[in-house]
Amino acid sequence: MNGKYVVDFEDLTNNSSSTNRSAGGHEDPTVELLRVIVDVWLAIPLAVMGVVGNIVSFFVLCHMRKSKLRAVTTMLQALAVSDTLVLVFGLLARSLRMVIGRRYTPILNLMYPWLMPIIYILRLANIWLTVWLTFDRYIAVCHPLHAQRLCTTKKTSIQILGVSLLSVLFSLPRFFEGKVV
């Protein structure tokens, strides 16, 4: 990784390779059309449907908090919030640049140095919340006698907070790894 953010934001991996560029420095029209199709016509509707689905799931789970599965619903609510944030910030990073065009590059230059590390934090938290939910369900199914003691709402809240804090701490160096050039 070269530690630079590309001004035109063509590659979100901080890679300034020129594999898809023609001799004049412009992108191949076929590749550019494919990016528009994927980043605008596919990603935006899928992200909007995902956000709506996560919001509906969150509110349905809010009404289920009085059941015996409060620890599970708490974890699923955290996962719904995490998924929604990943979708919203990912949409900002990938599709917004295609929709608003190159004339708003100064705005993207201001957003990009903090947007990408936040996306890394959210993705990491999302992955580990999913792993933790899987582990929690393993305990409930394979060790039901211990589940009542191990899978409590208080412990689940502490686990969610721990995953969130560790994700932030682990991804903190990403805020300092590059700059806009």
Domain ranges of the chain: 4-11+28-180
How far is it, in rounded angstroms, from Cα 155 to Cα 166? 16
Q: Which stretches in the chain have pLDDT values below 50?
A: 1-2, 4-18, 21-24
Per-residue confidence (pLDDT) for residue 82, from 0 to 100: 96
How far is it, in rounded angstroms, from Cα 8 to Cα 70? 46
Per-residue confidence (pLDDT) for residue 117, from 0 to 100: 92
- Helical (H) or strand (E) element with 59: helix 43-63
How far is it, in rounded angstroms, from Cα 88 to Cα 96? 11
CB 93 within 8 Å of CB 115: yes
SS3 179: strand
Mean pLDDT over the full length of the chain = 82
How far is it, in rounded angstroms, from Cα 19 to Cα 112? 22
Token pair, residue 148, equals: 């009542």
Fold (CATH) for 4-11+28-180: Rhopdopsin 7-helix transmembrane proteins (1.20.1070)
Phi-psi region of 14 (alpha: psi -120 to 50; beta: other; left: phi over 0): left
CA distances from 13 to 2, 105, 114, 181 (A): 10, 17, 14, 15
Per-residue confidence (pLDDT) for residue 102, from 0 to 100: 64
Per-residue confidence (pLDDT) for residue 138, from 0 to 100: 94
